[in-house]
Amino acid sequence: MSLKTKLFLCLTAGMLLVGTSAFLLKPLQTSPGTEHDLVKEAILDYVEGVYTMDTSRIYRSVHPSLVKRGSWFDRQKGEYVPLQEMTFQQLVNLTKHWNKDGKRANGESMRKIEVYDVQDKTATAKLTAVWGTDYFHLAKQDGKWYIMNVLWQSPKPH
C-alpha cells in the first residue's frame, strides 16, 4: 500500500471518528426554539390562561374546533361523573371566571407539562394541573401549534 493511500485512509478514518463522536456527544434533550418547545409553549398558554383568566392565551393556543372531554370525581356520590364534553367557546367562558377569587390557582400552582411525541404536523402531551390531568392532541397549522383535543380527569381523593 502506498504512502498516499495510507495517509488517505487515516484521514478518512479520522474524519469518520470525529463526525461520529460529535454526533454521539449531542444532548438528547431538545434545544430552545425547537418544535418540542413550541408544543410546550402552547400548553403553557392553555394552563396559564385558565389560571390567570387570560382568554387571549386560550385564543392563541387552542383551535376553535376543540373537543375537550373529561370526568371529575363527585365526592358526594363517591364516583366519577360520566364523560362530559366542552367546546372551545365553553372553555373561553370558563376561563373568564374559573379562578375569579384567586383561590384555585396562583403562581406556585402545579403546571407540569410532559411532551410525549412531536412529528411534523401532530404532537401529544400531558399536563398535570390543580384540576387534574389533561392529555392533549395538537396539530400544526400555518406554522403554529394548536390544541385540538383534550381528554382529562380530576384526581380521585385519597
Position of cell 383568566? 53
Question: pLDDT tens across 39-89, in order?
Answer: 999 999 999 999 999 999 999 999 999 999 999 999 999 999 999 999 999
pLDDT at 156: 85
pLDDT at 95: 96
Question: pLDDT tens across 3-50, in order?
Answer: 444 444 444 444 333 343 333 333 334 445 799 999 999 999 999 999
Neighbours of 61 (CB within 10 A): 21
pLDDT at 2: 53
Position of cell 375569579? 100
**Closest to 123 (Cα-Cα) out of 44, 34, 35:** 35
Average pLDDT over residues 124-136: 97
Beta-carbon contacts of residue 147 (< 8 Å; ≥ 6 apart): 42, 43, 46, 61, 62, 63, 66, 136, 137, 138
Q: Is the pTM of this model over 0.85?
A: no
Average pLDDT over residues 145-150: 98
Dihedral pair phi/psi, residue 112, rounded to 5°: -90, 120
Reply yes or no on domain 35-153 having CATH 2.40.30.10. Answer: no
Domain ranges of the chain: 35-153
Contact 129, 47 (CB under 8 A): yes
